[in-house]
Amino acid sequence: MTDINPVPIWLTVKLSLLTTLVLLIIGIPISYYLAYTKSRLGLVIEALTTLPLVLPPTVLGFYLLLLFSKEGFIGPLWYKVFDRQLVFHFEGIVIASVIYSLPMMVHPLTSGFRSVPKNIIEASWTLGRSKIETLFRVILPNMKASVLTGIVLSFAHTIGEFGVVLMVGGNIEGQTRVVSIAIYDAVEAIDYKTAHVYASLLFMLSFISLVMLYAVNRRWSL
Amino acid sequence: MKILVFLLFCVFGFSRAELIRVFAAADLQYALKEIVELYEKKYPEDKIELIFGSSGKGFAQIRAGAPFHIYFSANMKYVEELYREGYITTEPKLYAVGRIVVWTRKDSPLDPSKFPEVLLDPRVKRIAIANWEHAPYGRASKEALQAYGVFEKIKDKLVLGDNISQTASFVYSGAAEVGIIALSLALAPQMQAKGKYWLIPEEKHERLAQGYGITKEGEKFKSVKRFYHFVGSPEARKILVKYGFLLPGEVGR
């Protein structure tokens, strides 16, 4: 009983990596649109992507719970396709985390896109490069720092997630009991030793990722 | 894209392993861990996962489709209700009658056996009890406070734990000076080393009949039934009795 269970650690890392990957894939098109659009719809979408930052996790958790439940909008569909529920399962907290950490990816990327000088982009277009090619060969390499910031912040933010996971995932070992929840559990069980180990681990992990982020950012901005 | 497919595959592949998933009322925190240790030594091929929380939370989660195989409630009524609705398939079985105690730290000048006067002591700023909305022990605590006629007087000092285990951690850490917690938690080694308690007479609250059963989800597994029966075996009973989980007619240490 005294040894530390590694499952929550592995689960936290898996959740954070997967969430960051999904966010990178959907974050680039969203941010690209937000950075260059002039339509009013852009404002609405920008506000929507920032919402998870200001809403309490319980609001998000509550709506996701409704959405994922058997009577919800996504729940029955998912059940039909994958034969398992979203609530109380790992896939459910991945979706929840993606929404929860969305601003952490979209904000740095959007400001990154805006910082790339318009004339380089136009030069690339006039030289016959397609929009997609320009995006990957010209724009993204010119905003490496922003991409990295988005990745690190999404990763760190997902590690620190608690409320949404607790509401949507419950507290199930190997599925949804990530480290932050395992800490809560250990404190309740008056197992302060386990709580210390997990807590210091999260502290170090978050601290190191942020230091690395700032170190790389400083080098790239010079 | 290939990486994504691979990662998704890992996720689904990983989560398919079968095991016995038990949701238990928080008062079983220590006793059930000991029983599981004994069980896993005897049946090393079975793996048991314990999830602790208030009985009401477990009740709600099972109805929402949580993948638990066995449900231990601190209140028989929850198990009976789930049985009626078909979420639990075995007839609800009694495993203990729960008791509540008044608990303070050893280094506190307060004397728990001076209940209920001790609660009115001006040095008592906070009294921890479990939330009576969804924790059976909280309900029993509230009933006892009412039976002694002090509930209205101390209402403003109450801090509510989400479940009985969290309530215990409130007094254990000193955040609250006095707490009403489960006897089973007061008998846990950590709590015993740090605290003193006084048993509240049983007739001061509604009987805390505690029951358990196998869920629809757990029904199909042989190992689930094996553990279910093991909990009723003499060796498991010995552990339960050690933590004060007595059945009617059973004698404690």
Per-residue pLDDT at B14 exceeds 50:
no
Tell me the C-alpha distance between A201 and A203, whole Å: 5
The yes-or-no verdict on residue A33 having pLDDT over 60 is yes
Least CB-CB distance to A69: which of B64, B190, B191?
A: B64
Which residues, in sequence order, are CB contacts of A26 under 8 Å at separation 6+?
A98
> In the prediction, which pLDDT does B13 show?
45
The residues with which B181 forms a beta bridge, in sequence order, are B101
Q: What are B177's two structure tokens? A: 């000076």
- Tell me how far apart the alpha carbons of residues B57 and B73 are, in angstroms, rounded to a whole number: 10
The alpha carbon of A35 is separated from its chain's Cα centroid by a whole number of angstroms, namely 20
Residues of chain A contacting residue B12, judged by C-beta atoms under 8 Å apart? 82
Sequence-separated (6 or more) residues with CB below 8 Å from residue B5: none
B3 confidence band (pLDDT: 50, 70, 90)? low
User: What's the confidence (pLDDT) of residue B15?
Assistant: 44
Chain B residues touching residue A170 (CB < 8 angstroms):
51, 61, 66
Contact state of B61 with A170 under an 8 Å Cβ cutoff: yes
What separation, in Å, do the N-terminal and C-terminal C-alpha atoms of chain A show?
A: 51
pLDDT, position B252 = 63
Decide if A154 contacts A19 (C-beta within 8 A): yes
**Cβ neighbours of B66 in A, within 8 Å:** 87-88, 170, 172
- How far does B5 lie from chain A, in Å, by closest CA? 11
**Segment A163-183 mean pLDDT:** 89
Given CB atoms, is B172 within the 8 Å cutoff of chain A?
Answer: yes
**Cα–Cα nearest to B35, from B95, B117, B112, B99:** B95
User: Within an 8 Å CB–CB cutoff, is residue B214 touching chain A?
Assistant: no
d(C-alpha A105, C-alpha A24), whole Å: 7
Query: Nearest Cβ partner of A88 from B37, B67, B172?
Result: B67
pLDDT band at B37 (very low <50, low <70, confident <90, very high): very high
Which residues in chain B are closer than 8 Å to A90, comparing Cβ atoms?
11, 15
Q: Which residue has the tokens 């000991």?
A: B34
For the stretch B58-113, pLDDT in tens is 999 999 888 999 999 999 999 999 999 999 999 999 999 999 999 999 999 999 99
Checking ipTM against 0.85, whether it exceeds it is no
**In the predicted model, is pLDDT for residue A203 greater than 50?**
yes
- Give the span between the Cα atoms of B196 and B181, in whole angstroms: 12
Confidence band for A191, pLDDT divided at 50, 70 and 90: confident
The pTM of this model reads: 0.80
Cβ–Cβ gap A171/B37 under 8 Å = no
What distance in Å separates the CA atoms of residue B158 and residue A180, rounded to the nearest whole number?
27
B120 touches chain A (CB under 8 A): no
Check CB contact of B187 with chain A, cutoff 8 Å: no
Over residues B128-142, the pLDDT tens digits come to: 999 998 899 999 999
Indicate whether A3 pLDDT > 90.
no
Range name among A42-46, A83-87, A133-137 with the lowest pLDDT average: A83-87
Residues 6 or more apart whose Cβ sits within 8 Å of residue A111: A35, A146
Residue B11 has pLDDT above 70, yes or no: no
For A95-141, the pLDDT digits (tens) are 999 999 999 999 999 999 999 999 999 999 999 999 999 999 999 99
Q: Residue A123 is encoded by which pair of tokens?
A: 């030069």
pLDDT single digits (tens) B204-237: 999 999 999 999 999 999 999 999 999 999 999 9
Choose from B11, B37, B173, B192 for mutation: most chain A CBs within 10 A: B11
Peptide bond into A56 cis (omega under 30): no
Answer with the residue of higher pLDDT: A80 or B70. Answer: B70
* pLDDT surpassing 70 at residue A1: no
CB distance A186 to A115 below 8 Å: no
How sure is the predictor about B17, in pLDDT bands with cuts at 50, 70 and 90?
Answer: very low
- Comparing CA positions, the residue from A202, A211, A184 lying closest to residue A13 is A202
* Interchain pair A1, B51: CB under 8 A: no
- Nearest-neighbour CA in chain B from A49: distance (Å): 23
Work out the angle between the directed axes of helices A90-115 and A7-36 (0-180°, nearest 10): 40
Record: contact B169-A187, CB cut-off 8 A: yes
